[in-house]
Structure 1
């Protein structure tokens, strides 16, 4: 019997080749793609590093030239035009507050935008709220603003009412101010995107009955951007 007539001849001549015996162009193509993606990764990483270095250099240059400083805020006076505690534990109040703003920067102006927020809190509950007027504060200037705040039918619980009565007898009313001030900075002729100053102030008032002005025993404000 000849080889071609042997029934095992066709199978032995056409069996699948082992993985290691595939044509070389398959492995070359894989190697090419691998090198291409690796080169793209390295190039992208280098571009990101250059971009990060450029940002750092720009930031250092900005700070060196303009020397930015945080503005300062303080509550200068506090007037109570109305403060009524109902028999059901609700409080209605109206305050007039003088807020002093200081821009210590020599080359940076501040635009105070219209959508600001000021809240007065007692024992964690907001008694009244208001907003800062929109205005521009030039560099190295001090401005005192009059802010009106009001709140009606604010519910206090029994513990808060008891604590409030005790504080009124002691003549020391602790209040907490939360102030969010959206601003834009003027640097030369350029105007920056919007940022928000978060001002938090703790005050201790001498009472809640005076219509001419209340003595502020303690005041402390912190500012974060």
Structure 2
């Protein structure tokens, strides 16, 4: 067949004409609002009335270590080390105390003599004293090395009258040593007024107050162990009846306080 036959559908004349479906009336809702399947009309209206909420992503940040917690740990470590060190030192001191039973040395001023205490032509006051001090070491197992660098001075109120030093020596166990120490000094400021004050005090009270101050570096020996250097500080309060070079001097009272420092 040269030309292909075209087949067209035959229209049934007897069939009824197609009926057009009525177009529903437009809804009151917004045409842009989508309808939800399986939801009632009221739910759909509520969904349209509610604004669309956008959910933001939650960002989880890593927790930072608090700085104060680190400082607290550091403080606790330091405190623990310090506490342990204190306990160890206290234990060592306790053991040494039980073994050696240390006792403080004792010092007394036995005698004071004045060789010179007169005004000179230049209105200065020159003083030469001699002090006799008894040093007692009551310890049975402890020796004392008196080192160089000691200093002893005699004072009237706030005025230093004279000064000197103790000799270097070793004091053994339960030993008593008597020291004769020369002291010299020269007062150039208001020497006349100082001498007048001394004479007036003697006439009013019958005594003259004096202070002797001693600073002595020592090393303590525990058995065969020689410890580090410490300083003995001795302060003696004296009252004498006179400071004249021509008269013997009587010590009316003497009281010495002892302390030490590293």
Please indicate, yes or no, whether the TM-score normalized by the shorter chain is above 0.5.
yes
Segments of 5+ residues of structure 1 without an aligned counterpart are: 1-16
Classify 1:116/1:54 alpha carbon distance in 2 versus 1 (closer, same or farther; 3 Å): same
Distance 2:91 2:74 in 1: 26
Corresponding position: 1:164 with 2:198: yes
Alignment of 1:65-214 (within 5 A): 65-86=99-120, 90-156=124-190, 160-169=194-203, 171-210=206-245, 213-214=248-249
Q: Check the 8 A contact 2:232/2:258 in 1, yes or no.
A: yes
Classify 1:119/1:32 alpha carbon distance in 2 versus 1 (closer, same or farther; 3 Å): closer
Distance 1:142 1:168 in 2: 34
Segments of 5+ residues of structure 2 without an aligned counterpart are: 1-56
Comparing 180-189 with 84-93, which one deviates more in the overlay? 84-93
Q: Check the 8 A contact 1:118/1:129 in 2, yes or no.
A: yes
Q: Which residue of 2 aligns with 1:11?
A: none
TM-score after normalising by structure 1: 0.78
Classify 1:36/1:209 alpha carbon distance in 2 versus 1 (closer, same or farther; 3 Å): closer
**Larger of the two Rg values belongs to structure:** 2
Distance 1:138 1:223 in 2: 19
Shift of 1:48: 2.6
TM-score after normalising by structure 2: 0.68
Q: Which residue of 2 aligns with 1:6?
A: none
Distance 1:163 1:143 in 2: 35
Q: Higher relative contact order at CA 8 Å, sep ≥6: structure 1 or structure 2?
A: 1
Higher share in strand: 1
Higher share in helix: 1
Cα RMSD of the aligned pairs, angstroms, is: 2.8
Q: Which residue of 1 aligns with 2:24?
A: none
**Paired positions, count:** 204
Comparing 31-40 with 173-182, which one deviates more in the overlay? 31-40
